[in-house]
């Protein structure tokens, strides 16, 4: 479970994230929805301990983001959109193993997890081949396996399907639902309403660094008596 409490980030005079608070329970996919520049990536990078908050904190699976950053880091898996950043000269297995080592994973456990993930993601045929010549979809699977090899209880996805073709997008979406079935707490940022409607149980709408709505999709549609796109436009449209 993730509980975000009053998290803010200032870059000099830019307030990128402004006192946000929300939670994501185990088994819940929370959609962080906002336009470009709304503060989604900054928020997720703070939760992932990649960026120090200006103020506020979060509790991740019982650990405090500020006081127990290393423990928080071990609980979190991250999949960002765009280039997946693998080592071309290493095999798929070596890429994943390298990441497991960075997370101080026991070698036997890492080996078992890689075997399991290779099967789950249908990568057995090419797990020991160098990733240099892999298709985008194959690389995406390696990135997925790498993000989860250390058994995190929380998953963060930052616009993970941006720039992907239909096949690769489907792989990522299926993976998100698999994480939900495994009862992980999930935050998933997107600017695509369709994707959010398909995957999320709840959405948090962020605009200019501030949370402007938080609720289930059904609640929000009822409250504004409109579809999700109209809800979004009403909240972030004019200003
Ligand atoms: N390292 C940085 N230095 C200065 N400003 C930044 C930095 N990172 C993000 N910002 C600013 O913070 C705001 C939020 O950015 P970001 O979190 O990337 O939004 P989103 O992911 O929703 O598109 C933007 O105004 C952006 O220009
Ligand atoms: Mg972003």
Give the tens place of pLDDT for each residue, 13-62.
Answer: 999 999 999 999 999 999 999 999 999 999 999 999 999 999 999 999 99
Q: How much is the pLDDT for 239? A: 56
The protein residue with its alpha carbon nearest to ligand 1, atom 7, reads 11
CB distance 8 to 18 below 8 Å:
yes
Q: How much is the pLDDT for 193? A: 85
Q: How much is the pLDDT for 83? A: 77
Q: How much is the pLDDT for 201? A: 86
pTM beyond 0.85, yes or no? yes
Ligand 1 shell residues, CB under 6 Å: 11, 14, 16, 34, 36-42
SS3 94: helix
Ligand 2: centre distance to CA 106 (Å) = 33
SS3 189: strand
Ligand 1: centre distance to CA 37 (Å) = 6
In the chain, where do the E strands start and end?
2-11, 14-24, 29-33, 55-60, 63-64, 76-80, 154-158, 185-190, 202-207, 210-216
CA distances 191 to 42, 111, 125, 158, 169, Å, are: 15, 36, 35, 10, 14
CA distances 136 to 152, 159, 169, 230, Å, are: 25, 16, 11, 34
Taking 50 as the pLDDT cut, the residues of the chain under it are: none
The protein residue with its alpha carbon nearest to ligand 1, atom 2, reads 11
What CATH number does domain 2-89+153-236 carry, 3.90.700.10, 3.40.50.300, 3.30.70.100, 3.30.830.10?
Answer: 3.40.50.300
């Amino acid at each position: 479970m993730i509980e975000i409490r009053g998290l803010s980030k200032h870059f000099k005079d830019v307030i990128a994230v402004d006192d946000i608070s929300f939670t994501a329970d185990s088994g819940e996919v929370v959609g962080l929805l906002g336009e470009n520049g709304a503060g989604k990536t900054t928020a997720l990078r703070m939760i992932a301990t990649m960026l120090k908050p200006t103020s506020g904190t979060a509790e991740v699976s019982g650990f405090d983001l500020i006081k127990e950053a290393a423990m928080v880091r071990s609980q979190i898996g991250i999949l960002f959109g765009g280039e997946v950043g693998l080592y071309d000269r290493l095999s798929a297995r070596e890429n994943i193993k390298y990441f497991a080592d960075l997370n101080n994973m026991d070698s036997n456990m890492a080996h078992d997890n890689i075997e399991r993930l290779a099967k789950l993601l249908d990568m057995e045929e090419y797990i020991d081949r160098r990733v240099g010549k892999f298709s985008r979809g194959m690389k995406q699977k390696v990135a997925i396996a790498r993000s989860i090899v250390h058994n995190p209880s929380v998953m963060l996805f930052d616009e993970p399907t941006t720039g992907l073709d239909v096949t690769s997008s489907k792989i990522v979406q299926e993976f998100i639902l698999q994480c939900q079935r495994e009862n992980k707490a999930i935050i998933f940022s997107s600017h695509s309403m369709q994707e959010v409607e398909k995957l999320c149980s709840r959405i948090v709408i962020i605009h200019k660094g501030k949370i402007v709505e938080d609720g289930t999709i059904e609640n929000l549609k009822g409250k504004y008596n409109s579809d999700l796109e109209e809800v979004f436009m009403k909240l972030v449209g004019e200003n």
